[in-house]
Amino acid sequence: MAAASRCDADMNPLSIVVCGETFPSAQMLLRERLRGDQVCVWRDRKALPAFTAAADVLIPMMFQIDGMVMDHFRPRLIQQWGSGLEGIDLEAARARGIEVCGVATTGSNAESVAEHVVLLMLALLRELPAAQANIRAGILGAPQGRMLAGRTVCLWGLGKIARAIARRLRAFDARLLGITRNPDAERIATFGLEACYSATERAACLRRTDVLVLCVRLNDETRGLVNGDVLAALPEGAYLVNAARGALVDYEALYLALCSGRLAGAGLDVFWEEPISPDDPLLKLPRTIATPHVAGVTDRSYGEIAEAVVRNIERLRRRGAALHREE
């Protein structure tokens, strides 16, 4: 059936394919809100031929959506669950006239990610894995942790999530620095920064940093942004926290910095391949604290994301203009 003829009436049921079986609560929320539509899950790229019918909407969940997938399903809309469209071939979508939309990183999503970043930071400073091991071993009064108060935290990237992080860190009496493409006095005041540096001045900022928090988007320019040179610019004993995208960090450089002890630890919620293999050597290092891409997975955040996704699907049903469309 041609894409243009799938919705003859405004309220006709739509065919919605969730691409990937990760983030199970997202699937549940979609089914609850789209009871009149056909919602199915495509779990494996190798199983693509099993889906013979066209789909009105594709919702990728950490799946690569390329031209071959688009030609198979012939969707009218590719709707990302959350932010970040790096898994979608945007040029292929434009060439086929397929709308691609995300969800704004505002509201409870930004607040949820900010809370999780603080969680990772505190877990690193207070050596949570060692503390858990000690309680099982009957050891009291160890390890000796470090306070967040008085530490210098660098926010690399000053968007909405970084602003939510900064607001929380000020309550901990942390000192804040920022790295952004366009540093100015307004950003310093808005984020409560001691100083703000451009990307070309980053070495000067990193030398002052106790905890580096990544808040930048992943694209061709930022892939591998945190490499050996960046990690070497940090003081010995610094920490890295990444709840943005795994590919922002050079894996080998991070592994070597942790093994050598130059980095005191890394708090990671995102990875180079997701899900990361349980046998990945990085996860076996005592200085790594890892969580399964859950920074934005909270009740309020997912409720708002679900409403935004469903709102665009309803606009598609009624032939309205989509929101947060990638141009």
Q: Where are the domains of the chain?
A: 3-102+299-317, 108-290
Q: What is the mean pLDDT of the chain?
A: 93
Mean pLDDT on 316-325: 92
Mean pLDDT on 17-24: 92
pLDDT digits (tens, 9 = 90+) for 154-208: 999 999 999 999 999 999 999 999 999 999 999 999 999 999 999 999 999 999 9
pLDDT, position 83: 82
The secondary structure of 168-235 as a DSSP string is: HHHHTT-EEEEE-SS--HHHHHHHT-SEEE-GGGHHHHHTT-SEEEE-PPPSTTTTT-B-HHHHHHSP
Distance CA 33, CA 18 (A): 14
Alpha-carbon distances, residue 147 vs 172, 239, 320 (angstroms): 9, 13, 52
pLDDT, position 4: 40
Cβ atoms of 159 and 215 within 8 Å: the answer is: yes
Beta bridge partners of 177: 154, 195
Within 10 angstroms of residue 82's Cβ, the number of other Cβ atoms is: 20
Mean pLDDT on 262-266: 98
Radius of gyration over alpha carbons of the chain, in Å? 22
pLDDT band for position 23 (cuts 50, 70, 90)? very high
Q: Find where tokens 């203009």 sit.
A: 321
Whether residue 53 is predicted with pLDDT greater than 80 in this model: the reply is no
Known catalytic residues are 245, 274, 293
pLDDT, position 105: 78
Cβ atoms of 257 and 263 within 8 Å: the answer is: yes
Same fold, 3-102+299-317 and 108-290: yes
Whether residue 1 is predicted with pLDDT greater than 50 in this model: the reply is no
Distance CA 19, CA 16 (A): 10
b/e string for 287-320 if b means 16 or more Cβ within 10 A? bbbbbebebbbbeebbebbbebbbbbbebbbeee
pLDDT, position 21: 86
Whether residue 5 is predicted with pLDDT greater than 70 in this model: the reply is no
CATH 3.40.50.720 fits 108-290, yes or no: yes
Whether residue 46 is predicted with pLDDT greater than 80 in this model: the reply is no
pLDDT, position 49: 66
pLDDT, position 11: 65
Q: Which has the closest alpha carbon to 81: 155, 129, 22, 162?
A: 22
pLDDT, position 43: 84
pLDDT, position 48: 73
Whether residue 214 is predicted with pLDDT greater than 50 in this model: the reply is yes
Q: State the CATH architecture for 3-102+299-317.
A: 3-Layer(aba) Sandwich (3.40)
Mean pLDDT on 234-252: 98
pLDDT, position 9: 39
Percent of the chain with pLDDT over 90: 86
Whether residue 2 is predicted with pLDDT greater than 70 in this model: the reply is no
Whether residue 47 is predicted with pLDDT greater than 90 in this model: the reply is no
Q: Which has the closest alpha carbon to 194: 204, 35, 303?
A: 204
Q: Which has the closest alpha carbon to 258: 280, 287, 284, 281?
A: 287
163-172, long-range: CB < 8 A, 24+ apart: 163/110, 163/190, 163/191, 164/110, 164/111, 164/113, 164/114, 165/113, 165/114, 165/117, 165/118, 165/213, 165/215, 166/191, 166/192, 166/193, 167/114, 167/192, 168/114, 168/115, 168/118, 169/118, 172/118, 172/148
Cβ atoms of 77 and 101 within 8 Å: the answer is: yes
pLDDT digits (tens, 9 = 90+) for 65-104: 999 999 999 999 999 998 888 899 999 999 999 999 999 8
